[in-house]
Amino acid sequence: MDKHTLAWCDLGTVPYRAAWELQARLVVARRQGLTGDLLLLLEHPPVYTLGRAGRVENLLVPVGWLRGQGAEVFEVDRGGDITFHGPGQLVGYPILDLTAWGRDLHRYLRGLEEVLIRALGAFGIAAGRKSGYTGVWVRDRKIAAIGVKLNSGWVSSHGFALNVSTDLRWFDYIIPCGIRGYGVTSLSAELGRRIPREAAIGPVVDAFGQVFGRPPVPVDPSSLADLLKDPALAAG
């Protein structure tokens, strides 16, 4: 992978734990210079994740009940509180060396927001920020959540989740991101018609390349498999 471009690939549907472990190995590869900047795009089967700021009271039903509905629950090492991932959501995990981005967490978060704002603009949706909160909003409804981790060497992991055609009823069981008084929405809900997750990939990739100054280049997921054969990366 060219270290001066943004490699990206769509992995399709990936269980949450497998994606989490994949990120850890890719962080090591990026830190060791074995790969350049990379954007993983995927979706998860239904799962709730609580970040480092997660509060159990923001989960409104028992964990066992959620598992009975087919959803997993994980406590994870990203920033932020509780959120939901599931079918119809475009999840992005950027594995970036933020040295080239000024080693500035706030600038990085605003950059991720800008990517999603531009991508939604391609669909005619006027999205934006809400003062005091991380994420992307359409008026008082959150359409995209952001939660990241900065690993040693200023390499990023975790990332963003854009609701494209997500079943929003899954959010009824939590206080999303620990924020009371506001709702959630999706690209499909805003446009009044179902938008496939795949339709959002191009606008997101294009916007990511613009905002982060790396020409986006698609790569086949098999290239990641070849990269990750190195046993040293298991230490991630």
CA distance 218 to 221: 9
Residue in the block written with tokens 């190195």: 230
Name residues whose C-beta falls within 8 Å of residue 222's C-beta, 6 or more positions apart in sequence. Answer: none
Catalytic residue list contains 9: no
25 near 56, Cβ under 8 Å?
Answer: no
Q: Which two tokens stand for residue 157?
A: 């992991």
Q: DSSP characters for 61-117?
A: S-HHHHHHTT-EEEE-SSSSSEEEE-TTEEEEEEE-BGGGGTT-HHHHHHHHHHHHH
Q: Which of 177, 179, 207, 228 is catalytic?
A: 177
By annotation, the residues acting in catalysis are: 177
